[in-house]
Amino acid sequence: MIDILFFGRVADRLGKRRMAMVLPEEGLNLLTLRLRLFDGDADERLRMSVNQVVVTDDRPLRDGDEVAFFSVFSGG
């Protein structure tokens, strides 16, 4: 099972802030998950993190991972 969180514009667009997913037996990579969730929408500004660390490259997801998708940061 992995936790998937959404923040900012991305949470608005999907109409939800979190979901859980059971990892398929054959495994699941981060970019495959992204493709599934966002239907191939190639939004360059979509950012990702795994276990609260921002990542840009693909990687296999493991049970217990916390994955997040969000738009670019804007604080201050």
Partner 1 sequence: MSESVGANMEVRLLPAAFDPAAVHGDFLTRFGAFGAVAAFTGVVRETAKEAAVDYLYLDWYPGMTEASMQTIAEAAAKRFDIRALGIHHRCGEVRAGEPVVFVAAASTHRRAAFEAVDYMMDRLKSEAALWKREVGPQTDHWVEPTASDAEDLKRWSEK
CB 18 → partner 1: shortest distance, Å? 11
Stretch that binds partner 1, among 20-28, 31-39, 57-65, 66-74 (CB under 8 A): 66-74
DSSP conformation letters of the chain: -EEEEEETHHHHHHT-SEEEEPPPTT--BHHHHHHHHHTT---TT-EEEETTEEE-S--B--TT-EEEEE------
Does position 5 interact with partner 1 (CB under 8 A)? The reply is: yes
Is residue 76 within the footprint of partner 1 (CB under 8 A)? yes
Binding site for partner 1 (CB under 8 A): 5, 7-9, 11-12, 45, 49, 52, 68, 70-76
